[in-house]
Each structure stands twice: as C-alpha cells, then as structure tokens.
Structure 1
C-alpha cells in the first residue's frame, strides 16, 4: 500500500512539474519537455495523455525547425476551462473571464461608492460574475473557480474579509456567499496580493520570484512575493504596508490610527496638497481649474501639468516620490526584493515617480551599491488584481490538476 501511495505522490509531483513547464515554455515538443523537466520520455508521454484526457493539454502545429521526423508541439489547452477574476474595491467592481491559459476573454466594470449599502455592492459583483459565468458556459467550458481580490485584511484560508477600513466592512464571509451562488471553489485574497501575483504571472514582473507590488488608490496596499509565493505571515495578514507608521502623531488614517504611510502617498493627498498651494496663491497652470471648482482638480490633470513642466505639479510629484521612497527603503532593507512594481493609480505617473524614488532610495538602502532592485510601473495597470485573482485559481488547479474537476 505504501509503495502505491508513494508512486501516486511521485506521479502528482511530476504532473505539476510538467504543467508548470508547459505554462512557461509552451509550445514545446515532447523531447524538449523531457529535457526541461528531467523526466524520461515514457513518463512524459503518460502524463501528457492523462492531461489530454481531461483537456488540459493539446497538440498544436508540427515542429518543422529540426532535422528528422517533425513532432507535434504541446501547449496548455485554452478550452480546458474558464476562471472568473473579481475585484471589489472602494469605488469600482471589476470582473474578467479568462481561459485556462489565463488569457482575457471578457471584462466588465461598474462604478460604486462607499455610500452604497454593502449588500448592493455585493449584488453588483454577483450579477457581473453571473454574466461572465453564463458566457463561459455558452462556450461549453468547465467552470474552474473564482478568485476575489478585496481592499483590506483577508483570511485567505477561511475565505473571509476581516477588515476593509476604506470600505468600512468587517468580518464578511464573502467566500461562502459566492460559493452559495456559484458552487465552485472561491479563493479570497487581499487585492494588492492578487495584483502582485498578476504581475508575476502575466505582467511586468513575469517570473521574478521575489518582488514587492505597491498599489495606491484611496489607500495604499502592498503585495509581497517570496520565491514566487504570496507572503501571508503567520495568520495571513501580512502585506498591510500602507499602515506602517511613518510619523508618530501624523495624519489620521481610515484605520483609526495616526501617521500611517498611506496618508502621505495617495493620489488624493497629492490633489489636496496642490489645492492648498493654489489657494495660497502659488502660480500654476492648474489655477484656472481650481477657480472653476475646488472639486475639479484630478490626479491626471496634475500629471499632465507636470509633463508640461508646471513647477507646482512637478514639486508635488517629487514630494510623492520621496514619501514613497521613505517607506520603500524600509521594505527593501527587510525583504531585499529583485523588483518593485508601482501599480494602482500611480501607474500612470510611474515615469515621473520612479527617478525620484530611485534617487531617494540610494540614500536609504544599506549596501546600496550591492542591492540591485529594479523599479517598474505596472504592466497590467488597473487590471492587475483581476488577473491575479484568475492566477489564484489556475495556480490551485496546477497544484492538483487530476482532482480539481472531480
């Protein structure tokens, strides 16, 4: 019995290795797959047949760029199933339908606000997901599961939202709610963690196994990947970097504490600082906007003004970069990441912020001349979280492919 169990364990491990290799290197021949994995040809053939039987793998075109008999190339089968990636954030709900390769097939977006009742926002998300599920089922694809990204502390094991300060939500069993609606595995995660995973699988940080993702919107979130896995900490609450204390008696944060990093580095803070300067008479091309209405000023307008050389806008973004670097220096010294991805609403300002951050970081990081950390703007932009939510499900499928659909 033990020998049989050991053989099944080895088979499962080898299957995971084959799937991950296909994920990274496909299309690929059986011979090259055997070489890349270190498995023998007969093992490869047996595993590929099993995966083809459940429609996870398919043969594509002939490999013609070699001497001798051409072989069929292998790839993951996009028709193997579909996944829903969902993000519920402070001012919007976003959802995508993706195939087994993680490729986008359809996206939906709805604006919401914190004045709306919790139930109304949740039902908006359910209706959006239902629309996408029906579309996937029309294409006769198996529904593999749903990943949900949320802006707060989550318990990913229990599938619960613990606390989302900017939404004002606490102790929400969102995994159970969506399971009752759809009867498939529901994976719940912090939105910044999802975004970090999305950039790792499909974006700017593809295959960079140690990275920090920084997401700024209404608040400031952070996702940390260590050796290609989300770092959750002992109880699953790691990554709430926006609530690092930067100043002991600083600004009041939505979490109830003072001096949190996110109260210094959000786009809304930049808007407020620029507005105050304009009211004090600082000369700027943005002045007419404020004269029109104190609510007319947007982060995009400040960014546009900075790109045109406006002194006030440039100073505001430089200050933002320095304040971002103050926190990032701590994170680099602690985690020593290979890459930092700047995401969320700050993505659009990355080309202006990153030089300021790099300049400030060089004076804050120990052994800076030996610490090689790359700073890049998000490649997936506002869709990083929903793509990461898809990756949550696909990663789980890859870890246990033969049992996932049973």
Structure 2
C-alpha cells in the first residue's frame, strides 16, 4: 500500500511541479494530510522531490510548493533513425542534461556497427555524471515494430533492422554495473514529449521523418493495441496504384507524405529548398503540398472517423509546412470526417526537434522510477 501511495503522490508532483502542496495532494487523492506528509517526507529524503519557498495565502499557514528534484535520478534516452543517432541524458524533471548527436547514414552500417557507435556516445555521457547520481536505465527509440517486452525489433523497413535484439550489441556500464536497455517505437517516444506539454489530453499525433509515424493519446494514455503495434498511420493505403513502400505494400501514406516523397514531388533537394520554393509561390512546390494534404486527409480522416478524436498534432517536416498545409488539409478533413460539421477539428503543429524521440525515450526509461519510487527511495532512507 505504501509503495502504491508513494507512486500516486509522486505522480501529483510530476504533473503539477512547483504549484502543488501537501494539502493539495491530500485533497486530490482523498488521503489524510498526515499520510501525505509522511509520504512526501520519504520522497524528499529519497531525493526525488524538493520543497520550494513558502507562499502566503489569504489565511492559514503558508503553502509550501513541492517540485521534482533535478539532477539526482537520470535515464538514457536514445534514438537510431535513418540519418542520425542521438544519445541524451534526461532527469526526472524531463530536462535534457547532456546530449550527443551523430549525423550518419545508418542504412550503411551493420547493426553491430550502429550499436557500437551508440554505446560509445552513451558511455561518454555517463562518464561525466556527477557523484551520487543514479541511472534508471536506457530506452532506444526505433522506427518500426517492437515486441511487447521491449527487447526485439521485429521489423524496421527504413533501417532494415529486422528480427533482432539491439541489447545484444549494447555495452554500457555505470557504477560497475551494466545499464539495462529496452526498445520502443520512436513515434510513441516523441508523443511522450507532446503529452508532457499537454498532460491528460486526447489527440492524434502525426509526424514526418523519412516515413510517417503516428501515435494516439486517449485521456493522457498512449493507445498501444494488443501487441503494441497500434497507430501505424504511415502504412494506411492512400493510393492502391501508387508507389511501392519500403514495407512491401503499394501506395502507403509515407510514399506520398514522407520526407523523400515530398522532396521528389516538389523537385527540391531538402526541406529548406521546399520552403524557399513555397515562399516564392513555385507552382511545383504548391502542387506538392496539395498532393500531400490530399493523402493526409484520406489517412487522418479515416483515423478520426474511427477514433472520434478532434485534435490532430503534426510534427517533423509536416510542421515545417504548416503555413501551406493547414488550409488544404483542413478542407480535406471537413469533407472526409463524418462528424466534422458538428464538431470542429483542431490542427496544431508541434515544433520540430531532431532530439524529440530521444528525449521521449528518456522519459519512458524513467517510468521505472515514477511507477515504483519506493525502490529508489527506500535505500536512501536506510542510510
């Protein structure tokens, strides 16, 4: 019971860091103030929570705000994608405290070579950790299907990392012990950073890299599906007679709206070139955006009809195209979503960050702490 209550109290501090007091938590959780106070004291001694300066109220004793303690417990958030590798160190506040970024053609590397690069990047970060720091583990964000246990990459068409366990090629230690590695879909990891900015919300998150990835949040919980493979929007068919996709099917959304497809349609070498062409009203680039909007409308419209979500958040290169993409996509959704005339569809654009998936992976790896803080608190209480 105490372990469960510790997790509940820490969850309240995480959700309202800096603006929640012991009395607030007691009221929200229906616990007595004395029980919450004891639990908070344990979290403070366990170096997960810290008290702020007392804030005076209209009457009664001043409230003391509680905050997540920075710089004590960390996780490694990692990403391997087609054109980059990222290793980041994320603490319990969600802030990135250290990072290594390598731009490289991962498709030209073997799995052993790629994981050796990533291991070195991660080890460099850990070798610079402050005294007394603790590591909850490491999470690797991969574009593809991951098994339910978070150990095996079942299929990653863009990387060609299929049916393998990255942990077999992972060699990182901290404090003389190996750092455990788990694997998760990269877009699910990215979505965790979006959720941190809008906790408890429901939305469809669609982001563009080489391919198109998606995640669904229902009341703040990511929809994973029975096997953990939900939300593969990039492989919804938008043109049965279209181009062959890396997954082996024809006419998937990412063959029209993925980064390589957008560049090909616009006749430009990179996204900056596409944006420049659009700013100059180049007809080829403008036509490309219309084609992308139509394909997105088919796939996103189908998802909204199925899931009854009214907020769509777009990231990656799709967010870069916001000024030209918003209006045609809004028109497509207004036509394709059955309930659109009765309830508005909100299109929001998430700022592009090449480190978003790695940061989200770090947040996921911190789940061992947030779901079971007693394991991290109790050893310090015994000192």
TM-score normalized with structure 1 length: 0.86
Matches within 5 A, 1:320-339: 320-339=292-311
Whole-angstrom distance in 2 between the partners of 1:192 and 1:93: 15
The alignment yields a C-alpha RMSD, in angstroms, of 2.1
Corresponding residue to 1:13 among 1, 4, 10? 4
Q: Match for residue 352 of structure 1? A: 324
Matches within 5 A, 1:364-383: 364-379=336-351, 381-383=353-355
Corresponding residue to 1:140 among 120, 123, 132? 132
Runs of 4+ in 1 over 4 A off after TM superposition: 179-182
Secondary structure in structure 2 of the residue aligned to 1:264: helix
Conserved 8 A contact 2:74-2:366: no
Distance 1:158-1:100 versus aligned 2 partners, 3 A rule: closer
Q: CA deviation at 1:176?
A: 4.8
Secondary structure in structure 2 of the residue aligned to 1:251: coil
Q: Match for residue 124 of structure 1? A: 117
Q: CA deviation at 1:208?
A: 4.5
Secondary structure in structure 1 of the residue aligned to 2:304: helix
Whole-angstrom distance in 2 between the partners of 1:352 and 1:404: 49
Q: Does 1:258 align with 2:253?
A: no
Q: Does 1:186 align with 2:181?
A: yes
Secondary structure in structure 2 of the residue aligned to 1:101: coil
Q: Which structure would you say has the larger RCO, counting Cα contacts within 8 Å and 6 or more residues apart?
A: 2
Matches within 5 A, 1:7-406: 8=1, 11-27=2-18, 28-113=20-105, 114-135=107-128, 137-178=129-170, 183-202=178-197, 206-275=198-267, 297-379=269-351, 381-403=353-375
Q: Single out whichever of 69-78 and 109-118 deviates more from structure 2.
A: 69-78
Q: CA deviation at 1:161?
A: 0.8
CA deviation profile, 1:182-222 (whole Å, cap 9, x unmatched): 623433111111111121114xxx12532222121211111
Whole-angstrom distance in 1 between the partners of 2:287 and 2:14: 44
Q: CA deviation at 1:81?
A: 0.6
Distance 1:138-1:80 versus aligned 2 partners, 3 A rule: closer
CA deviation profile, 1:277-326 (whole Å, cap 9, x unmatched): xxxxxxxxxxxxxxxxxxx7222111122123333322221221221111
Q: CA deviation at 1:64?
A: 3.0
Q: Single out whichever of 304-313 and 361-370 deviates more from structure 2.
A: 304-313
Q: Which has the higher helix share?
A: 1
Unaligned residue ranges in structure 1 (runs of 5+): 1-7, 276-295
CA deviation profile, 1:64-88 (whole Å, cap 9, x unmatched): 3443443432111113311111110
Distance 1:404-1:333 versus aligned 2 partners, 3 A rule: farther
Whole-angstrom distance in 2 between the partners of 1:337 and 1:49: 40
Q: CA deviation at 1:225?
A: 2.2
Conserved 8 A contact 2:319-2:352: no
Conserved 8 A contact 2:147-2:154: yes
Unaligned residue ranges in structure 2 (runs of 5+): none
Conserved 8 A contact 2:138-2:182: yes
Distance 1:392-1:372 versus aligned 2 partners, 3 A rule: farther
Q: CA deviation at 1:273?
A: 2.0
CA deviation profile, 1:321-360 (whole Å, cap 9, x unmatched): 2211111001111112242221122221123212221111
Conserved 8 A contact 1:324-1:357: yes
Q: CA deviation at 1:177?
A: 4.0
Whole-angstrom distance in 2 between the partners of 1:338 and 1:367: 10
Whole-angstrom distance in 2 between the partners of 1:76 and 1:18: 11
Whole-angstrom distance in 2 between the partners of 1:304 and 1:232: 38
Whole-angstrom distance in 1 between the partners of 2:137 and 2:59: 43
